[in-house]
Structure formats: C-alpha cells, structure tokens
Amino acid sequence: MALAQVARTRPTAEVTSCDVVLLNPGFRGAQPAEHLGLAYLAAGLRQAGVGTQIIDMHLLGASVRQVVESVQQASPIVVGITGTERQGRALVAIAQYVRARLPRAHIAAGGHFATFCHDRLVRDVPALDSVVRGEGDLVFVELVKRVLAAEDWRGLPGVSFHQDGTVVSNPPSALIANLDNLPFPARDTARAAMARNGLLGVTSSRGCYGQCTFCSIRAFYSLQVGPAWRARSPENVVEEMALLARDYGCHRFWLVDDSFIGPGPRGRERAHAFADEVLSRGLKLEFAIFSRANDVGRDLFLHLRHAGLRLVEIGVESGNQSQLDRFRKGTTVEDGRRAMRTLRDLGVDVSVALVMFDPESTLGEGLDTLRFVAGEGVLGNASGFDNAANPHRGTELFERLRREGRLRGSYLKGYSYSFRDPIVGACARVARPLGRLLAAVPNPFAPRRHKRAVR
C-alpha cells in the first residue's frame, strides 16, 4: 500500500472575514499534512460560536507575504500562530508582519516551540500579545472568548505575556483528562491533504510513556498536571474515522499518536478494542501507526492487521545497545529485531526510524546500526541515516549539553552541539546526502507487498 503518494496539486486558501485566524508556518523537508493541533482549536472555537479560519502555509505552499495578505483580508480580532523549532523564525516574522498590518489584533503563539521558549518570545517579540503554553485546546478558546468580549484574559492558567516591563508566566493549566470531550477536529484542509498525500491523520492519544533523553514529547506534556499518556476511547476514534470515510471518501489513515499502543496491559487492551470496533462496524479501512519496538506482539498486531493495519513505523533508533541505553530508550536491540520479524511474518510493512548520531556517538556504534538494518532487510525502509539527536529545549539532552557548555546556536536559529569524537562530528555533517542516497537504493528485502497468507 502506498501510504504516501503525493499529488502535484497546489491548493489555495479561500479568504473570508472571521473573528480568528489560525496559522501554521511552513518549512522545507517535511511532507505536507493537516495540522491537527490547529484543527482541534478551530473545532473548539466554532463550538463556542467563534468564526474561525485555518491558513496552513505548509500545506498550501504559500509564502509569508501571501499569508499575511490573506490575514489582512480576513481582518480577524485574534491571530493564533503555531510552530515547531524549525518554524521559529517564520513564526516571529509572521507575527511582526501581521502586527504592522493589523495593529489592533491580539496575536498569540502556541505549540512546542512557543511553549519551551515562551519567556524569550514574550521578551523579544513585542508583536506577540500572549503565548499559550502546553495543551491549549481549552485555554486558547477561553482566551479568545475574553478578548472578543473585551474582558481581562491575563489571569488564565498557562498563559505568558509582557506587563510593566516584565514577563509574566501564569501557573500551568491541567491536561485534558477526557479527550473524548473534545469535538472532532475541523477538517478545513482535509481535501487539500488528501490531494497531496492520499490519506488523513487521526489523533487517538496524546503523549508518550517513554523517557527518551532526546525527545521533547514527554517534556512538553510534563509541563502540565496529568498523566504522560492519555487516550480517546476506541468508539470515539473509530466514529471519527467512519465519518471521514463517509464525508471525504477517505479510507487510508495515519494514526499520528506518538505512542499508539500505550503503556502496559491498559495500552494493549485499548489497541485490541480499537481493532474490535473497526471490525464490528464492518469498516474497510487501512491505517498506519507509530510504535515502540517493545510494544509489538504477534497476537495483538495480527488482530490489528485484520482490522486494516498496513504499516508500522518503529522507533528502533539504534542497532547498538550502549547507544540505546544512553538514550534511555527502555528497549533492546533484540526488541527491534523481534518486532521487525514479527511484522514481516504478519504481512505488515515496516518503516524504521533511526537516531544515527548523538553527542557521544562512536564510529563503531554507527556501523552496528548499519549492519543491523541491513541484516534485517530494512535498509530501504529506514529513515534517519542523516539524523543527529536534536537538542530540543526541555529535554534531558538539551539540559546536559547546556551544563557542559557544548550547545551552540540560539532559540531562533536552532541549536547544535560539539561531538565528543570529532570524526563522528564530521560524519554527521556529511551524512545528509548519504541518507538521501540510501533512501533511493532499491532493497530486494523491503517488505512492500506480501503474498503470505495471514491467519
């Protein structure tokens, strides 16, 4: 199954007057898809009776100038801008341009980058009125309602702002306990996403129970009170997928959860119940998931295969146990090998995510990883040969490098670090073209299509 067939169309945004515009800056190198975070915000705002429009630069392929002109035409009262670390400079530039065009608008930033850099953004970017930290579904809707009613919003939890020459950061808000209470995300950009990718994304859970030193997911949700991993009920998730199949004719989905299976018996039971729900409703769906290697088990994934599972991306990260232990991955090399072989036996396609380099990497560790993926026949299905562990703000890796004085760069331009072994550092610098080359090499062992009967 080709889960990532990209059409060559370039949709355009239809501009209408509204109270709120939500913006997603674009950046090169990532496959365009719906921004489900903004889609959830739009749904919550509309449920509250607030006219809202999403402008997704990444999906539309629009320039900053085009987006700012579209915002000006919409003439909103509130502009919300999200962004990752790679989108930081675009986020700031858009805020400044929008401020020049709409001096009376309330401009708010949110998402991972704004959350971890809220103090710097509030201090350095006068164009921003506020930053909503962490999970913003409820807080941002309340902020908008108060701005529209000309009421004071500065006491809201999870909000940072500039006041009397100082940065004020209110105490964090609580994580949403029951995700089923959220409205289904607004699908304004669904048809554009399907034209580009042939599929739609669905969020069935939030967070991750892992403790990887380089990952900002757990760090992001740990800033608020609540469990590290929360899931929607299987019935709620499958109902959304059924509606998308009915309304958009979409039968292929990415379940974009950071950890679809979830922790322990509870996570496995929920995944099994999800498959039960798909099968009991007679839905003919195909879907892909992300999974940790240690969560792959034959019985559960056979049941998911029967329900439509076609692709699993596994965060194997490394073929060297010392490196996995340094990452605090909580898995073994054998876990990765077993997971890939189990999925192959079940006729499920496998994609392997790697973190090839980290500050303490050795050449031997890198060779172990290459031998590992080649030996398992997934060389052409692996991504990350050119990937060095990114020092995301809020992670254990970032804090350690900062203490050791090895960080370089800035919060807007991005961070890098010095490698313990300068030869490894040189390899990391030249690895990107190698990664592209390896990705293009046909792999006769790649489990693309399976003729083996699965029982």
Binned at pLDDT 50, 70 and 90, residue 451 comes out as very low
Q: Are residues 298 and 398 in the same domain?
A: yes
Whether the model clears a pTM of 0.75, i.e. scores above it, the answer is yes
Provide the domain count of the chain.
2
Residue 65: give its domain's CATH number.
3.40.50.280
Reported as a single tens digit per residue, the pLDDT across 263-319 is: 999 999 999 999 999 999 999 999 999 999 999 999 999 999 999 999 999 999 999
Q: Are residues 349 and 246 in the same domain?
A: yes
| DSSP 8-state code for residue 390 | P
Q: Is residue 276 part of a domain?
A: yes
Q: Are residues 387 and 435 in the same domain?
A: yes
Q: Are residues 129 and 225 in the same domain?
A: no
Q: Are residues 312 and 422 in the same domain?
A: yes
Q: Is residue 44 part of a domain?
A: yes
**Domain stop point among 169, 184, 217:** 169
Q: Are residues 52 and 112 in the same domain?
A: yes
Residue 232: give its domain's CATH number.
3.20.20.70
Range of the domain at 103: 20-169
Find where tokens 């704004």 sit.
Answer: 114
Q: Are residues 393 and 250 in the same domain?
A: yes
Q: Is residue 39 part of a domain?
A: yes
Q: Are residues 380 and 329 in the same domain?
A: yes
Q: Is residue 193 part of a domain?
A: no
Q: Are residues 388 and 251 in the same domain?
A: yes
* Token pair of 408 as six digits: 């370089």
Comparison of pLDDT for 12 and 366, the residue scoring more: 366
Q: Is residue 118 part of a domain?
A: yes
Q: Are strands 106-110 and 78-81 parallel, antiparallel or unpaired?
A: parallel
Contacts of 418 (CB under 8 A, 6+ apart): 359, 406, 408, 425
Q: Are residues 217 and 361 in the same domain?
A: yes
Report pLDDT for 60. 82
Q: Is residue 184 part of a domain?
A: no
Distance between first and last Cα of the chain: 19
* Token pair of 384 as six digits: 């990350």
**Domain stop point among 122, 147, 169:** 169
For residue 289, give the nearest of 241, 329, 223, 243 by alpha carbon. Answer: 241
Report pLDDT for 10. 36
Binned at pLDDT 50, 70 and 90, residue 383 comes out as confident
Report pLDDT for 28. 57
Q: Are residues 323 and 390 in the same domain?
A: yes
Reported as a single tens digit per residue, the pLDDT across 144-174 is: 999 999 999 999 999 999 999 899 999 999 9
**Domain stop point among 148, 169, 190:** 169
Percent of the chain with pLDDT over 90: 76
Q: Are residues 114 and 165 in the same domain?
A: yes
| Average per-residue pLDDT for the chain | 89
Q: Can you give the C-alpha Rg of the chain in angstroms? A: 22
